[in-house]
């Protein structure tokens, strides 16, 4: 009898390595902090995408009857919500979602030119920055299997602290039957997102003071990042095929 030898191809993981996930989280969180602080400075203390802060201020201005400020905050909140809808529609109609990061880069370049005209900062720059950051939030929210938003900090801090305790600080206490020890990436990625956001904010403040067109910097990074994601998706598709 002739024996039949079956060759089993090795399974190729579709998840990126931890190092690659770290690069993407650091880049995107840094960009978010960078863009956020420039918008915050340009439009007088209103955030393009930190809706928790804007919503708190909105409630405060209502109670204090500061209607002009209240109107600006309501405008900002509404803009981000609208930007989220537009970004979601764009993503759903793109064959390759990372292309939306290239569109975001183009929006940032336009906003960078617009901000040179001070009178256009609230009516034009603020909507563009809100749209750009909404695009980022819609495009990529999972890194190496870890669900993570790079345009906010609070949720990442909660995830970081919980994973840190679960992996390193829970001691010898027996875990619940349905609770597993967090992976290293579940600790590292939220923590780095938090840190990178802060560093990005500081970099944005310095760039805004020193550069005429500071929003060019994140736009260039986004183009390279989108190219990296597109290549990774292409390789993954070929491997799956």
11-37: pLDDT as tens digits? 334 567 899 999 999 999 999 999 999
Of the ranges 45-49, 112-116, 165-169, 215-219, which one carries the lowest mean pLDDT score?
165-169
Q: Is 72 left (phi over 0), alpha (psi -120 to 50) or beta?
A: alpha
The whole-chain average pLDDT of the chain stands at 88
Q: Which helix (H) or strand (E) holds 216?
A: helix 216-240
Structure tokens at 187: 């600790």
How confident is the model over 121-180, as pLDDT tens digits?
Answer: 999 999 999 999 999 999 888 898 899 999 999 999 999 999 999 999 876 555 565 678
Question: Can you tell me the mean pLDDT for 81-107?
Answer: 91
Query: Which pLDDT score, from 0 to 100, does residue 174 have?
Result: 52
How many residues are there in the chain? 241
Number of Cβ within 10 Å of residue 128's Cβ equals 23
| 3-class secondary structure, 146 | strand
Q: Which two tokens stand for residue 123?
A: 């009516």
What is the Cα–Cα distance from 131 to 85, expressed in whole angstroms? 9
**DSSP structure class, residue 122:** I
Strand-pairing partners, residue 146, are: 143
In 3D space, the residue among 192, 196, 214, 217 whose CA is nearest the CA of residue 205 turns out to be 214
Q: How far apart are CA 192 and CA 216, in angstroms?
A: 23
Question: Six-digit token pair at 207?
Answer: 């760039």
Domains and CATH numbers, the chain: 18-170+181-229 (1.20.1250)
Instruction: Supply the pTM of this predicted model.
Output: 0.87
């Amino acid at each position: 009898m002739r024996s039949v030898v079956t060759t089993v191809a090795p399974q190729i993981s579709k998840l990126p390595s931890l190092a690659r996930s770290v690069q993407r989280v650091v880049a995107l969180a840094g960009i978010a902090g960078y863009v956020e602080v420039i918008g915050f400075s340009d439009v007088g203390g209103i955030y393009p995408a930190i809706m928790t802060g804007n919503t708190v201020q909105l409630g405060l201005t209502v109670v204090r009857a500061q209607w002009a400020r209240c109107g600006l905050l309501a405008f900002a909140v509404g803009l981000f919500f609208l930007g989220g809808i537009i970004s979601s529609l764009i993503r759903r109609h793109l064959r390759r979602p990372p292309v939306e990061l290239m569109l975001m880069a183009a929006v940032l370049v336009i906003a960078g030119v617009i901000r040179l005209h001070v009178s256009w900062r609230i009516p034009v720059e603020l909507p563009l920055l809100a749209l750009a950051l909404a695009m980022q939030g819609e495009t990529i929210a999972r890194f190496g299997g870890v669900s993570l938003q790079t345009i906010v900090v609070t949720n990442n801090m909660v995830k970081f602290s919980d994973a840190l305790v679960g992996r390193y600080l829970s001691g010898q206490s027996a875990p619940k039957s349905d609770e597993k020890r967090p992976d290293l990436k579940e600790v590292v990625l939220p923590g780095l997102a938090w840190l990178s956001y802060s560093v990005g904010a500081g970099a944005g403040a310095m760039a805004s003071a020193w550069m005429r067109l500071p929003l060019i910097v994140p736009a260039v990074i986004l183009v390279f990042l989108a190219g990296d994601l597109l290549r990774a998706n292409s390789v993954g598709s070929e491997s799956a095929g």
